[in-house]
């Protein structure tokens, strides 16, 4: 691939989104619309909002992803998420969301600050946990953890501590949190908040100004 944009276009050309924990968790945290979905991809979360009667708009780096949204009758536009200000006025959306996006940009704090600027209420972010127990075991076995493989295009590694640190740097206050865990622990989910860096697979966190 000659550029990041080429990589993203190729991904959205052949790999549609699947409904995941992050989508369901984020939807449960949305109090009101309209919602801006930053890094909307092919519009899965926008569709979920539409089904709930929540007005939503998307923005994505990939013009192929934006075209996919428009084919589905969804409102989306193309913009470089990492190059500078996003094309929206201050406080123009009550809720601004980025699901599995921050780990794809080199300076996620800047994107968080832009989301804060655009939001008049909540900022909701979802990131995978690069320090989970399964990832640590894969390293011990001499394997590359799934989230670190080239096909994921991840350039910034998150865990719970890093997410809290960047939120604080961006001037955002943590609120409600949703986490998922791996199969053997699903019946012991009470333990996940005790050791989130170890036991959570991903985090979906509501942030406030």
Whether 94 shows a pLDDT value over 60: the answer reads: yes
pLDDT over 70 (residue 2)? no
CA distance 141 to 161: 25
Confidence band for 1, pLDDT divided at 50, 70 and 90: very low
Joined tokens for residue 25: 């968790």
Q: What is the CATH number of the domain that holds 43?
A: 3.40.50.150
Give the pTM. Answer: 0.95
> 96-130: per-residue pLDDT in tens?
999 999 999 999 999 999 999 999 999 999 999 99
| Interatomic CA distance for residues 24 and 52, integer angstroms | 12
Question: What pLDDT digit, counting tens, does each position of 43-88 carry?
Answer: 999 999 999 999 999 999 999 999 999 999 999 999 999 888 999 9
Number of Cα atoms under 13 Å in the Cβ half of residue 122: 23
Structural domains in the chain (count): 1
Host domain of residue 100: 4-208
pLDDT digits (tens, 9 = 90+) for 149-175: 988 889 999 999 999 999 999 999 999
């Amino acid at each position: 691939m000659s550029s990041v944009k080429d990589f993203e276009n190729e991904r959205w050309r052949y790999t549609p989104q699947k409904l995941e924990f992050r989508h369901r968790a984020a939807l449960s945290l949305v109090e009101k619309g309209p919602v801006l979905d930053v890094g909307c991809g092919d519009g899965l979360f926008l569709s979920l909002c539409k089904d709930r009667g929540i007005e939503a708009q998307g923005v994505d780096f990939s013009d192929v992803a934006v075209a996919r949204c428009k084919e589905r009758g969804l409102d989306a536009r193309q913009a470089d998420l990492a190059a500078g200000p996003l094309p929206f006025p201050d406080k123009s959306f009550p809720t601004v969301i980025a699901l599995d996006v921050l780990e794809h940009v080199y300076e996620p704090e800047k994107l968080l600050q832009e989301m804060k600027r655009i939001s008049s209420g909540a900022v909701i972010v979802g990131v995978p946990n690069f320090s989970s127990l399964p990832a640590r075991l894969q390293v011990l076995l001499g394997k590359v953890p799934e989230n670190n493989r080239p096909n994921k295009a991840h350039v910034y590694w998150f865990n719970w501590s890093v997410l809290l640190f960047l939120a604080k740097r961006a001037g955002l206050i943590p609120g409600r949190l949703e986490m998922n865990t791996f199969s053997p622990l699903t019946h012991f989910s009470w333990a996940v908040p005790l050791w989130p860096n170890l036991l959570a697979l991903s985090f979906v966190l509501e942030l406030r100004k």
